[in-house]
Structure 1
Amino acid sequence: MTVPTPSDNNGRKVLGRLSLPERTYVADALRAETVGGVLLLVAAVAAVIWANVWGGSYEDVRGFHLGPASLGLDLSIQHWAADGLLAVFFFVAGIELKRELVAGELRDPKAAVLPVIAAICGMAAPALVYVVVNMVGGGAMDGWAVPTATDIAFALAVLAVIGTSLPSALRAFLLTLAVVDDLFAILIIAVFFTSDINFAALGGAVVGLAVFWLLLRKGVRGWYVYVPLALVIWGLMYNSGVHSTIAGVAMGLMLRCSKREGEHHSPGEHIEHLVRPLSAGLAVPLFALFSAGVVIGGGVLGDVFSKPETLGVVLGLVVGKAVGIFGGTWLTARFTRAELNEDLAWPDVFAVASLAGIGFTVSLLIGELAFAGDETMTDEVKASVLVGSLIAAVVAAALLKARNRKYRALCEDEERDDDHDGIPDIYEQDKPEYHLRMAAIYEGKAAEHRRLAEVAGAAGDKGERPA
């Protein structure tokens, strides 16, 4: 999930061609994220319908408590979804981040500059928009972090629904933004939403993480070892006052994501392949089901655009994200004297930046943390996240649809494999052996045409039809 380095010698390219292995990885990741995004979309719609049609049962179910009180884990269903299931989501995010840092393009500082700066600007600008709106309107500053997060699964679901194909460079840019975005979201949660710390529990969690790391380095295998240990670490982290999803990130970052000789996949990639369906297909949709259910009425929708807290979230997602990511990308290219890929245009970058304004999973989580104890404001902020994400999705869909014919042609060029060797021709065009092979193919076809012409000519002289 990277922004690639150039494939030619004419200077560094912005959104240039991906390497073939990275392109394959991006394609596989996109398939999994798209399926998860569709499930997430279905769960969010179901939550809104459930909350508005059978609101009493919805509140009863998500407010139902279960878990061992003696361990400090007597939590509501909604709480289990936010603190427990999302730990799985952040575990996968930790693996993705580790892979990018050690095996992806983010290991190269020159390649990492663009997505990192774009992601930072894409988080700073929405926060700034929120702060300005609330300074002018006299609102609470607590929700400044709500519009900073991008939900890659929801964004890909939107692409799937509108039927738009994105060239691999734009897809990789979006995915890389999401990975870096997740990193900063993790830091925001850890730094700004940590309650009073229980140092005994935190120390126990650190010891558990050390044991986890040692077992990995010793090559110990078996889910029956790691799953119970992970649960213990999670429980200790929850009781420490540090948000429990940090435990998932920490364990994900400890996995080895670089391949050794004889390995088709690193252990981290293998575990990600196993856990991602659980995260995308169960954990995140269930979180959406028990968190996205807000009562939508005329009064609520009116408050979204009239209260500074909620208006700041909407404008942060719709305006802040697009302007921040696009501006960061353009300025980085400007000051590094990099050229945009000749197949793309700056409006394409703006369209993808607008798509990144879809903030859902992490935005909802931060909204719950920022306004904990104020149920009315929490529901209104959730409504603003839904409205802002919907507006961003509509704007991005319109911009992307306008260029869909161009994108489809680029995707077809990337997929073309005329010699049927399993490698797209675009990755072989600079190789001498490719030209020799294609010349031999064309020469063979020309010789065959000449032979058929000679046979036809001879048959014509004899008044016969050629075989």
Structure 2
Amino acid sequence: MTQQSPSPFRLLGLGSWAEARRIAEILRAETVGGLLLLGATVLALAWANSPWKDFYQDLAAFRVGPESLHLNLSLATWAADGLLAIFFFVAGLELKREFVAGDLRDLRRAALPVTAAMGGMIVPALIYVAVIATGDGGGLRGWAVPTATDIAFALAVLGVISTHLPSALRTFLLTLAVVDDLLAITIIAIFYTSGLQPLPLVIALLVIAVFGVLVQRGISRWWLLLPLAATAWTLVHESGVHATVAGVLLAFTVPVNGRDGVDLAHRLEHRWRPISAGFAVPIFAFFAAGVTISGGAGLGATVTVAAIAGLVVGKPIGITLSAWLVQRFTRARLAEGLSWWDVIGLGLLGGIGFTVSLLISELAFGSGTEADSQTKLGVLAGSLLAALLATVLLRIRNRHYRRICAAEAADDDADGIPDVYQRP
């Protein structure tokens, strides 16, 4: 009697019901935030190209904050350095929960989104560099601009086109974006740090360690944690490392399964995600997306074309090729009902860079410079084009998605858990 070989592992298969519910809750918040992000972007572009554009520029340049702490910063800088630290704090919490308590504890499940995120950063960067090399070579410092994925913007697109994306694809998209955020903040910390001051950085790490000791002991009193977090952020800002890095480092100290079974990471994520998605990111977009198109920024500039090519061409190629390599070398197979067209569609959604891409543009070229404006125009145009292409492909597949979603929602025994999650 021959022993039957085990069935191959399924890529993009369903996870657990608990994980599916958690992902659905996150995506609802991010979708609302994405619509606010779209509104803030449209407002910024309209204002920056109106007769009142000078007032918009003056508002972005208006400085507030204590000079004694070297924090007399413009509103635009506060948005980029301060508010985005909240965004990266939430992203850090989500990443830690994924790998400690989520389905990504399984290395086979983690391999696909992690590899896809890496491919989705390497290929766009190579394409950006290749396009820059065809010109005078100027703008190479912005090589990381097309490497980011904006989950809020991508979900807003899904909400607008009303596509019924299956649970496994939504989970993959979210996890891909979260890993992408971690890689992006790593790039920012390593390649876009200038004038490093070791002493403030060391003190900042000590403050973060104290924060970590408190949260590991289950202490969540805001009047203790918030001052420590603000102090850590100030010191990281003073050190020359981009201040948003403080958000991720603080998040990584928060326990997922703490004392008495309390999931402090989930509690803080639930508390801060609406602030991040509904306030911090839209305000940053409002100040970062106000490109005056009639000025020096033109679609024909090399950095503009490089950003567009990296997002629209590089992202789907990088994500899809990486997923194929995982399948090729692990002998896994796509889950039943899904095809490589679905992976390409998600790759196109990954080409919606936006928030972190705009941030990297400012770090690379300096906020308000001609190169920054040209690159931001490329990010806006590339994100829009990627969104349109993803819309076409996903709408073609939407009837098929409806059938999958209907099967995933079926609960014949009325126990509150869809039947598909109770099958072996």
The TM tier, using the shorter chain, reads: over 0.9
> 2:414 & 2:178 partners in 1: Cα distance?
34
Tell me the residue number matched to 2:156.
157
What residue is the counterpart of 1:397 in the other structure?
391
- Say yes or no: does 1:240 pair with 2:239: yes
**Residues 1:287 and 2:275 aligned together:** no
What residue in structure 2 maps to residue 196 of structure 1? 195
Which residue is 1:257 aligned to? 256
* Structure-2 change in CA distance of 1:298 and 1:235 (3 Å): closer
Corresponding residue SS for 1:423: coil
In structure 2, distance between residues paired with 1:235 and 1:22: 35
Q: Percent identity?
A: 54
Give runs of aligned pairs for residues 92-131 of structure 1, distance below 5 A: 92-131=90-129
Q: Which residue of 2 aligns with 1:187?
A: 186
Q: Does the CA contact (< 8 Å) of 2:11 and 2:335 recur in 1?
A: yes
CA distance in 1 between counterparts of 2:219 and 2:345 reads 46
Q: Which moved more, 1:102-111 or 1:281-290?
A: 102-111
Q: Which amino acid aligns with 1:191?
A: I
Displacement of 1:299: 6.7
8 Å contact 1:142–1:370 — kept in the other structure? Answer: yes
CA distance in 1, matches of 2:113, 2:367: 36
Question: How far did 1:59 drift?
Answer: 0.5
Task: Give a deviation string over 1:372-405, Cα, whole Å, max 9, x none.
Answer: 2661111111111000000000000000000101
Cα deviation per residue 1:303-333 (whole Å; 9 max; x = unaligned)?
22x2221111000000000000001101210
Q: Which residue matches 2:222?
A: 223
Match of 2:144 in 1: 145
CA separation in 2, counterparts of 1:427 and 1:107? Answer: 18
Name the amino acid aligned to 1:357: G
**Does 2:349 align with 1:355?**
yes
Equivalent residue, structure 1, for 2:360: 366
Aligned to 2:65: 67
Which secondary structure state, in structure 2, belongs to the residue aligned with residue 283 of structure 1?
helix
d(CA) in 2 for partners of 1:281, 1:64: 23
Deviation of residue 428 (structure 1)? 2.8
Q: Is the 8 A contact 1:148 1:321 kept in 2?
A: yes
Q: Which has the larger radius of gyration?
A: 1
Residue matched to 1:3: none
Residue identity in the other structure for 1:21: A
Partner Cα separation in structure 1 for residue 363 and residue 331 of structure 2: 41
Residues 115, 93 of structure 1: alpha-carbon distance in 2 compared, 3 angstrom cutoff: same
CA contact (8 A) 1:99 1:258 kept: no
Q: C-alpha separation between the residues in 2 aligned to 1:72 and 1:396?
A: 44
Compared CA separation, residues 373 and 399, structure 1 to 2 (3 A): closer
Count matched residues.
418
| Alignment-derived partner of residue 378 in structure 2 | 384
Give runs of aligned pairs for residues 54-93 of structure 1, distance below 5 A.
Answer: 54-93=52-91
Equivalent position amino acid for 1:85 in 2: L
The separation in 1 between residues aligned to 2:220 and 2:26, in whole angstroms, is 25
Letter of the aligned partner of 1:369 in structure 2? L
CA deviation map 1:340-375 (0-9, x unaligned): 112111111111111110001100000000002661
Corresponding residue of 1:30: 27
The SS at the match of 1:166 is coil
Specify the SS of the correspondent of 1:232.
helix
Q: CA deviation at 1:421?
A: 1.2
Which stretch has the larger CA shift, 361-370 or 20-29?
20-29
Would the aligned equivalents of 2:200 and 2:238 in 1 still touch at CA under 8 Å?
yes
Distance 1:346 1:393 in 2: 18
Q: Offset at 1:111?
A: 2.1
Contact 2:125 2:146 in 1 (8 A): yes
1:46 aligns with 2:43: yes
Counterparts in 2 of 1:81 and 1:134: CA distance versus 1, 3 Å? same
Take 2:21 and 2:368, find their aligned partners in 1: how far apart are those partners? 46
State the partner residue of 2:328: 334
Which residue of 2 is the match for residue 318 of structure 1?
312
Cα offset, 1:200, TM superposition: 2.0
Length-normalised TM-score, structure 1: 0.87
Report the Cα distance in structure 2 between the residues aligned to 1:85 and 1:299, rounded to whole angstroms. Answer: 28
Q: Secondary structure at the match of 2:227?
A: helix
Unaligned 5+ segments in structure 1 are: 1-7, 431-467
